[in-house]
Every structure is written in structure tokens, then in C-alpha cells.
Structure 1
Amino acid sequence: MTSLSLDSDLWCRRFHPSPIAERRLVCFPHAGGSASFYYPVSAELRGPVDVLAVQYPGRQDRRDEDGVEDLHRMADEVCEALRRWSDLPLTFFGHSMGALVAFEVARRIERAGGRIEHLFVSGRKGPSRDLPELPHPLDDEGIMAEVRAMSGTDARLLEDEELLRMVLPALRCDYRALGAYRADRDAAVGFPITAAVGDQDPWTPLPEAGTWRERTTAAFDLRVFPGGHFYLNSRPAEVIAMLREHLDTAPRARDHEQHD
């Protein structure tokens, strides 16, 4: 397994450490995704913002580990890993499956007396109060068909059998986790949520993205971008602008210390 830098740990990758950072953004990848997906976000926000990207087991430098097929267990482990990173005000951003993981981690931190400044949930409908998650394919052919339809993976990867063998185990595991996930019926957080979605996303229609409103007792906002499920690949500047809009006005480290 590849060794980690002193600025990262098993669960979190810190691509651009900054001694002047006053806020921290924690990014949660989609199903089959890895921490490196958020390298461009880290590069754009470096300096005043410390960006952490969560690395799930079973991919990249953690590919020799078994994946986690329970999103609640995943959230427990990420929550524990984030303890060492609580010295700065925290904002979360999660895309697709990552939105659900970010929500569950945020709930755990809040229950333990911690604080999240804002939660951005992207490309995912809010956890239903009554219905389970829509089923995902579990056979390799069905998984790859869905990945192609989402247009979130480089077409060259889908044609490379060796790379596919490396990616498929993580996808299978993540899809099983999504199929088994159930949110607590009344689960909600006490801080603002912004739901972001592509206007042509067949997996997250706008009304369903809006159901995240039910999962916060604070402010809610819905941001719509041109594009499909992976709108953030084609609209990176607009996504960064949305994050900066919040982060530029979020509490700073000194405010965080005074609050504590």
C-alpha cells in the first residue's frame, strides 16, 4: 500500500496544506469515486481554505482493503477519523453517494456536540421518510451500463479491461451499500443545507433534490446547474463559485475558538 504523507491519514487526503487556512471543506466522493476526484477543488480553494477529501476503503491506495457495505458504519468510521481535523470550522460537500455519507457523518458530529457550518449535498435526492433507495444494478454489466449513462467516468477507463477490474469491486460494494441504506425516519440536522443538482440529471429530478429541505431545521437552498448527474465536471467554475460564496463568509478559525 502506498504510504501516506504527514498531511493525510487513512481516511482523509490533504492535497494542498495551508498554514493560513481559517476554514475547512471536507469532500465526500460518489459511488466508485476516490479522494482524487476533488484534487481540482483543493487546488482552486487552496490558501484560506483547507480541503480534505475522504478516501473510502477499496480504492486507490486503499484498494487492498475490503469495502464498507453499510453507509452507517462508513459514517461512524469517517466521523471518528475527522476528530483530528476539528480545529477549524467545518463545511461538508458530498456528491451522489457522498451526499448521504456526508449527511450521516454530519448528524453524528452534531449529536456529539460538534458543529458543521453548512452541508452541500449534490446529485442525490434527500433520504425518503417512507421509501427505500431506488435499486442499483449489482451485476457487472448493469453497473457499467449505469456508469456509462451517468457520464462520470472517462470513456477510456470503461474500455480498459485492467482498469475496470480495479474499479468494479469498489462499485459493487458501494452499490450494495446504497441498496441497503435507510435513513432514520426523522433524521435532520440543525444547520443549513444546500442541495445542488444538474437540470438534466435523470437520477435526481429537481423535486426530489428539493426533499433535502425536510432534513434540516435551518435554512435550505436549491442550486440548479446546466448538465446531468456529473454537472460538476462540466461546470467546475460555477461549483467553486458556489462554495466560495459560503466559505468567504463562514466563521473563521478565531471565531471557532471563541465559540468553543
Structure 2
Amino acid sequence: MGVNTAATEWVRVLRPGTATGGRLTCFPPGGGSATFYRELARHIGQDVDVTAVQYPGRQDRLGDPMITDLHLLADRIAADIVRRPAATRSLFGHSMGATVAYETALRLAAAGQPVRALVVSGRPAPEFVETARLHQASDAALIEDLERLANDPAPVRLLRTEPGLADLVLPAVRADYQAVETYRHRPGPLLSCPVVALVSTEDPTTTVAQAEQWRAVTSGPFSLRTFGGGHFYLDAQHAAVAQEITRHVN
């Protein structure tokens, strides 16, 4: 499956849906890109138009300046999305992407285009304050953290032995870590859409109790689904995760 990079500056089409289906926009984790969701897109309901955000500073946006302010990142993404009509629109984000998706949903609601559903994964609720400052740490410390979170650390270890690869990958990782670690939730209106929180019971970054706190961001329905596996539990469970997402976006 290819990725249509002609969609917009910020959004890439992973798999077109039908004329009657809704649109799902996926938000990558820190250091990730739109193609992170390519396999997941294969398993989403066939009528759903599956798209993904492409953050600047990576892949086909390698030359674009990176954004280290998560609120500004959501501003830019929402401004692009509101210009793209959709019958219904739902958002899904994993890790950092969950927080960016939430902030984008707030902006879409304020613009009169509320989302049908927000599905968040592998991330504490927005009130959580990061105390780590890995974005100020050495490259070695960043790589160590990536190894800690990876299901298979072997590919990450290449960053230690291939300087050219590290020069390509680590700036985006550092920028995204800064966006997450400096993010502070701003009090304001609640969402009214259903919010679904997905979390692994073995995720070192997010406890089930922290995922449960996402219920506070909406006046609408809330549900929680747990999975086995680590932080990137969805890598080995694309079909099950996609089934859960599809239930809420259709």
C-alpha cells in the first residue's frame, strides 16, 4: 500500500474509503511519521477514509522546520483539516499523537466541526505533567529511551552504529520529545464526542489508571480498552486495535 503525498501539506491518505464512509485521521507517536499507520490502515473498515498526519521534519517533509510547541502543532494541523470537508471525522493518536489528536479535536470543535469520536492510545490524560527532560539529553540517552519502548530494539540500535541514520532520525525525535515534555494542558471547554482510551497493561509510560483519567476531557461517553504488550502493543495487534477503532468511527 502506498501513501498519497498529494493530499495536503499536513495530511496523507493511507487508504481511500467510500463516498458514504467517514474519515479517520491518525496522529503518529513521537519521532514517527504518517507511514507508522500504514499496516493499521489495512484493517480499518473498508468504507472509512484513512488518513494520517505528517509532522514536519521527516520523510517528504524533511526540509520543513520542526515544531516543538504541541499547542502550535495542533493549531497548524486543525487549520489544515477544517478546509477538508468530510461527512464525519474521527481522530486516533498513539503516545504523543494522542495528545496532539486531543488538542486538534478541541480546535475543530471550536471551529464548528466537532469530531465524531476521539480514540487515544498509550498516553496519560492531558493533565499529566512530564517531568523528564530527555529533549535536553545526549543522543545516547535518546536512543536508550527508544530502545526501552521498542518491541524490537534491534533496529533502534542501528542509530548507535550508523551516524548518518542518527543524523536523519534523532532531530525529529528530539523535537517531538520537547513538544511532549513542555506541554501543559490549558483549562477550557470539554469535548462532547465519545472518547475511547486504549492502553497496554504492560506499558511503562502509561498506567491503566492514567488512561482512565481521559474520561475527564469529555461530557460525552467514555470507554477504556486494555491490551497486552508493551508501549507499542498495537504493532502485534493491528487487527484487534483496528476493530476497536472501527466500532467507534462508523
**Same fold by TM (over 0.5)?**
yes
Deviation of 1:121 (Å)? 0.7
Partner SS, residue 84 of structure 1: coil
Deviates more, 1:85-94 or 1:119-128: 85-94
Q: Which residue does the alignment assign to 1:174?
A: 176
Equivalent in 213, 219, 222 of residue 217 of structure 1: 219
Equivalences for residues 1-260 of structure 1 within 5 A = 5-6=5-6, 8-45=7-44, 47-128=46-127, 132-138=129-135, 139=137, 140-151=139-150, 155-160=154-159, 161=162, 162-186=164-188, 188-247=190-249, 250=250
Runs of 4+ in 1 over 6 A off after TM superposition: none
Query: How many angstroms apart in 2 are the aligned matches of 1:32 and 1:85?
Result: 26
AA matched with 1:192:
P
CA deviation digits over 1:65-118, x for unaligned, max 9?
Answer: 111010110001000111232322001000000001000000011012112011
CA deviation digits over 1:148-176, x for unaligned, max 9?
Answer: 00015762243152222211000111111
Unaligned runs of 5+ in 1: 251-260
Asked whether the 8 Å contact 1:190–1:218 carries over to 2, the reply is yes
- TM-score normalised according to structure 1 size: 0.87
Deviation of 1:21 (Å)? 4.8
Deviation of 1:190 (Å)? 1.2
Compared with structure 1, are the counterparts of its residues 16 and 46 closer, same or farther at alpha carbon in structure 2 (3 Å cutoff)?
Answer: farther
Deviation of 1:19 (Å)? 4.5
Asked whether the 8 Å contact 1:147–1:153 carries over to 2, the reply is no
Deviation of 1:201 (Å)? 0.5
AA matched with 1:23:
G
Query: How many angstroms apart in 2 are the aligned matches of 1:228 and 1:5?
Result: 31
Deviation of 1:5 (Å)? 4.4
Deviation of 1:48 (Å)? 0.4
Unaligned runs of 5+ in 2: none
Deviates more, 1:145-154 or 1:71-80: 145-154
Identity rate, percent? 38
Query: How many angstroms apart in 2 are the aligned matches of 1:163 and 1:46?
Result: 35
Query: How many angstroms apart in 1 are the aligned matches of 2:131 and 2:199?
Result: 18
Asked whether the 8 Å contact 2:44–2:243 carries over to 1, the reply is no
